[in-house]
């Protein structure tokens, strides 16, 4: 029995002290420094972009939308194409030719929103890729890392060492979490190069001006529209938030070690606890990471408020909007004046308001991020 216990104990030791594969060429990590260390270089094609993880290296390097400038909180707007129906109100008139009243019927109600930011919280960090030949410096078990597919990695299994696909991150942006454990947003994962749209509900209230006639209401001219408030609730068009990203092959280390030979300033995303000598960084928590843009400020935060711990949804935003109704003239055989009232005056009407809040539906997964103590 004793020999069996010793054997089992040695097996466990050998599991984690066996062959240690080092840092592979093309691996990429976020850094807390403003420059990359020796042997590493800034990942140029990612600058000004979020990272969206893929499991197929052939999809790595594909981009969506134009890169962000330094601290750019990108804006977007929506178009409105709706309609409103003005009800009928009869008047006692025959013939023409007073054009001051509006016809009843269905009219276009068109407009647009203001340009506004997405509400997404961001932080800019330098993304460095290892440019030297693979080393023997260890990478801890559970480390989640990005890879430059141009090195020749079509899949995680092509990477030297023991790297595996982590399906939960595919089609998502990895954001720093607050504690151990991975929390996946309710948004569906992105398909390759998907530029996901969103829309907003709006309510426009039209209060027409009253047109009076020198006559009486009643039978039998039914062309005119009734003067009363008209409320339209509809949705804007579906529009992208124009947030740029690049797809990178993302894999998790299964190397049999908890030691780290990564540079001191390298952050580590981990699906387990922080390695020995590392601590959780919660100052970055709840923010989408942007690869530091050209002439950017590493470490700078901007955009919306940080997402709270264990949240499964992103921030919302709204827009101010304006719509326009342009009525058509209906001529009747009465002069304008007193006292046949309650008809819509023929003119152009504008109305505005604020849309309901909505999110941009950019999927994320929050993962603890560790830094060396």
Give the pLDDT confidence of 4-35 residue by residue, as tens digits. Answer: 343 334 334 434 444 456 899 999 999 999 99
Q: Which residue ranges in the chain fall short of pLDDT 70?
A: 1-21, 94-96, 215-220, 333, 335, 337-339
Task: Report strand pairing: 316-317 vs 173-176.
Answer: unpaired
pLDDT at 290: 99
Size (the chain), residues = 373
pLDDT at 22: 84
SS3 at position 4: helix
DSSP assignment of 305-350 equals PPPPTT--S--EE--EEEEEEE--B--BSS-B-SSEEEEEBSSEEE
SS3 at position 202: strand
How many CB atoms sit inside 10 A of residue 251's CB?
Answer: 28
pLDDT at 337: 61
Full-model pTM: 0.88
SS3 at position 59: helix
Query: Are residues 67 and 291 in contact, defined by beta-carbon separation less than 8 angstroms?
Result: no
Q: Show the tokens assigned to 101.
A: 């009243």
pLDDT at 99: 86
pLDDT at 3: 38
Taking the C-alpha atoms of residue 309 and residue 289, their distance in angstroms, rounded to an integer, is 16
Task: Report strand pairing: 364-367 vs 173-176.
Answer: parallel
Residue of 166, 175, 181 lying closest to 314 (CA atoms): 175
């Amino acid at each position: 029995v004793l020999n069996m216990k010793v054997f089992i104990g040695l097996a466990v030791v050998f599991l984690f002290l066996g062959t240690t594969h080092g840092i592979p060429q093309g691996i990429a990590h976020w850094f807390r420094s403003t420059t990359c260390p020796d042997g590493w270089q800034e990942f140029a094609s990612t600058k000004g972009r979020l990272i969206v993880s893929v499991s197929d290296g052939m999809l790595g390097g594909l981009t969506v939308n134009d890169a962000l400038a330094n601290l750019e909180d990108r804006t977007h707007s929506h178009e409105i194409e709706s309609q409103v129906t003005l009800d009928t109100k009869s008047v006692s008139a025959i013939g023409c030719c007073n054009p001051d009243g509006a016809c009843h019927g269905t009219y276009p109600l068109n407009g647009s929103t203001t340009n506004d930011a997405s509400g997404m919280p961001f932080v800019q960090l330098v993304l460095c890729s290892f440019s030297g030949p693979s080393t023997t410096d260890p990478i801890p078990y559970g480390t989640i890392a990005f890879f430059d597919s141009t090195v020749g990695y079509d899949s995680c299994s092509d990477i030297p060492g023991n790297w595996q696909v982590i399906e939960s991150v595919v089609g998502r942006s990895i954001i720093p979490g607050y504690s151990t454990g991975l929390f996946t947003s309710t948004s569906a994962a992105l398909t390759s190069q998907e530029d996901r749209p969103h829309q907003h509900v709006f309510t426009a209230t039209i209060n027409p001006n009253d047109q009076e006639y020198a006559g009486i209401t009643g039978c039998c001219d039914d062309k005119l529209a009734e003067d009363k408030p008209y409320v339209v609730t509809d949705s804007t068009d579906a529009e992208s938030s124009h947030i740029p990203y690049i797809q990178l092959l993302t894999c998790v280390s299964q190397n049999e070690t908890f030691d780290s030979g990564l540079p001191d300033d390298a952050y580590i995303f981990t699906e387990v606890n922080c390695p020995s000598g590392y601590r959780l960084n919660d100052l970055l928590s709840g923010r989408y990471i942007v690869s530091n843009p050209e002439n950017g400020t590493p470490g700078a935060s901007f955009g919306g408020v940080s997402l709270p711990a264990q949240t499964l949804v992103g921030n919302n935003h709204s827009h101010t909007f304006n719509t326009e109704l342009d009525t058509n003239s209906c001529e009747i055989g009465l002069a304008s004046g007193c006292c046949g009232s309650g008809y819509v005056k023929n003119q152009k009407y504008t109305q505005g308001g604020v849309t309901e809040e909505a999110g941009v539906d950019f999927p994320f997964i929050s993962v603890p991020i560790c830094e060396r103590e």
